Amino acid sequence: MKQTKINKGTFYLGDCMSLMADTPDNFYELAIVDPPYGIGVDGGIGGGVLAKKSSFKKKNWDNESPNKEYFNELIRVSKNQIIFGANHFISKIPYDSSCWIVWNKINGDNNFADCELAYTSFKTAVRKFNFRWQGMLQGNMKTKEIKIHPTQKPVALYKWLLKNYAKEGDKILDTHLGSGSSAIACHYMGFELTGIEIDEEYYNQAMTRIKEQTQQQTLI
């Protein structure tokens, strides 16, 4: 399994199930993951009368969501979990939650989803994060992000999650690294991240993005 270290982050090219199989129980304080939802958006999101579809190479990784074994392993190796897209596969997660996270995309009148939902293992109330994420328009246009992945999430979202649900010194796990937004947020917030990505093209693009973003922050 290929490994790359960037600052406090360790990133693996490979299958997250293999890495988790070799990980002790409760090794990570928090897992923040965005696995495939099984809704076929790996070639792009949107399309239709109200919104132009984003265009990415079709790779078929979003044909189905992870199986129950994935969620069992994730819960075994981490003390707490934040799982995006869980409304699509909640039957595979063996625990209820009072604390769902709602990401309000403030994306106006179109055929994109108004919000994304994340299951959490925390016992607090439902919380909402407002951040615009609509095509060319983003919540912070001064630090506008170039999208390299069809399901890319903003760095600001991960920073908010870390601020509200992680404690100093926590080890963070991301089993589906994708664009690397979680890694950039962890760098900004001072957390040690283990990230895993199975697709070599996305892995290489994420490594480039993480290096560029973290080097820029270090210089600032």
Cα three-residue angle 34-31-118, rounded to 5 degrees? 45
Q: Which two tokens stand for residue 176?
A: 């589906």
CA gap 71, 80 in Å, rounded: 12
Counted residue by residue, the chain has a size of 220
DSSP string, 158-215: HHHHHHHH--TT-EEEES--TTSHHHHHHHHHT-EEEEEES-HHHHHHHHHHHHHHHH
Q: What is the pLDDT of residue 216?
A: 63
Q: Which residues, at least 6 apart from 133, have a Cβ–Cβ distance to it below 8 Å? A: 105, 106, 107, 139, 153, 154
Residue 215 · residue 209 · CB < 8 Å? no
> How do the pLDDT tens digits run along the chain, 220 residues long?
899 999 999 999 999 999 999 999 999 999 999 999 999 888 765 544 344 445 678 888 889 999 999 999 999 999 999 999 999 999 999 999 999 999 999 987 777 789 999 999 999 999 999 999 887 889 999 889 999 999 999 999 999 999 999 999 999 999 999 999 999 999 999 999 999 999 999 999 999 999 999 986 544 4
Instruction: Tell me the Ramachandran region of residue 154: left when phi exceeds 0, alpha when psi lies from -120 to 50, beta otherwise.
Output: beta
Tell me the fold of 2-219: Rossmann fold (3.40.50)
